[in-house]
Amino acid sequence: MRRIIFAFFLITNIATAQIDVGDTIPSIALKSTSNTEVNITSFKGKYVLIDFWASWCGPCRLGNKKLVKLHNEVSSDKIEIIGISIDTDTNKWLKAVEKDKIKFTQLIDSKGFDAETAIQFGVEELPSKFLFNAEGILIAKNPTEEEIIKLIEK
Amino acid sequence: MKKINKVYLVIASIVLMFSIKSNAQIVKAEIRATGLTCSMCSNAINKQLKALPEVTNVETDLNTNTFTVTLKEGNELSPKTFKEKVEKAGFFIGSLVITAKAETISKSPYILVNDKKGVTEVVQFQVVDKGYVTEKEFKKLSKSYKDISTYVANSEDDFHIKILN
């Protein structure tokens, strides 16, 4: 009986998996635009901003503009910006990256909202942003660019 | 005695109503959602629809912003369910096109606003009632269908449909 209850909790836990403030960045390796595998935990020692988006998501494309600006304004020694696309069509993703002139790290988990990474982070809408500190602890969900600058300049 | 007869009559007609409804069957629903934010950018509609036991598959078309919902054989879903689920997710229906077995539309909750052209096994139709089209479209349709008293009455339990095939 106990085992059943335990299993039940485990399942419900998986079903509602999501990252909350105070949680550690999960170890996830995804393909980048240059087709190399990048683990999102490999940037510890500086702030890491993860932005979930997709090429077909209008608000995300507007958000990309702001992220490009942030990337140009803030030293990459201080913060690593990682875009994670859930596009199912890799070509559309690559085209959008080029069009939006994105120079920061771009990864893809090409399964839409069913993407393992999106589920692990608990992404239910796009765009979704997660800011981790240098120790890899989540300190803010969906912060604005101004908030990000304030937090990392502290 | 008379009272009992009346009760029986009511029960019988309710049973009859439901048995008529159960013969109707929707095969597929194509839902275009609208709202203040990008409907495709949210997983909410998808989740609401997938949670229905009658639903076997939900596909999204990102070019047309359409959710295509495939339903189980023998289901008894009504257009109202789709409206409720989309609204629960925080959006509205912009258009709802349903594919159903041909006999479906001869059943009670459906009222045709145009003529059915040929004899087909499946029928495709759009629900044109308030809440199933955009506000703007509804205003237009209200003028076109001002002579259909049931359309003007705006009951939640009947569906005015425009046959597409």
Interface of B with A (CB under 8 A): 37-38, 40-44, 46-47, 60, 62
Query: Residue A8: what pLDDT?
Result: 52
Distance in angstroms (rounded) separating the CA atoms of residues B138 and B129: 7
Please tell me the number of Cα atoms within 13 Å of B154 on its side-chain side.
9
Topology (CATH level 3) of domain B24-163: Alpha-Beta Plaits (3.30.70)
One pLDDT digit (tens) per residue for chain A, 154 residues:
666 555 555 554 445 578 999 999 999 999 999 999 999 999 989 999 999 999 999 999 999 999 999 999 999 999 999 999 999 999 999 999 999 999 999 999 999 999 999 999 999 999 999 999 999 999 999 999 999 999 998 7
pTM of the model: 0.79
Query: Residue B116: what pLDDT?
Result: 75
Other C-beta atoms within 10 Å of A44: how many? 15
Question: Contact B71/B119 with Cβ under 8 angstroms?
Answer: no
Chain A, 36 to 55: residues with Cβ < 8 Å from chain B are 54
Whose CA is closest to B33, among B60, B55, B71? B60
Q: What are the structural domains of chain A?
A: 19-153 (3.40.30.10)
What radius of gyration, in Å, describes the C-alpha atoms of chain B? 17
Q: Residue B62: its chain A contacts at CB < 8 A?
A: 56
User: In this structure, what token pair is assigned to residue B66?
Assistant: 């359409």
Contact: A113, B38; criterion CB under 8 Å: no
Question: Contact A84/A30 with Cβ under 8 angstroms?
Answer: yes
Contact: A112, B38; criterion CB under 8 Å: no
User: In this structure, what token pair is assigned to residue A93?
Assistant: 């993703």
User: CA of B36: which chain A residue's CA is closest?
Assistant: A59
Question: Contact B132/B158 with Cβ under 8 angstroms?
Answer: no
Tell me how long chain A is: 154
Decide if A115 touches B, using CB distance below 8 A: no
Q: Pick out chain B residues at pLDDT < 50.
A: 19-22
Query: Residue B165: what pLDDT?
Result: 87
Q: Which regions of A6-132 does DSSP assign to beta strands (E)? A: 29-32, 37-39, 47-53, 79-85, 105-108, 128-132
Among B37, B40, B43, the residue with its CB nearest the CB of A124 is: B43
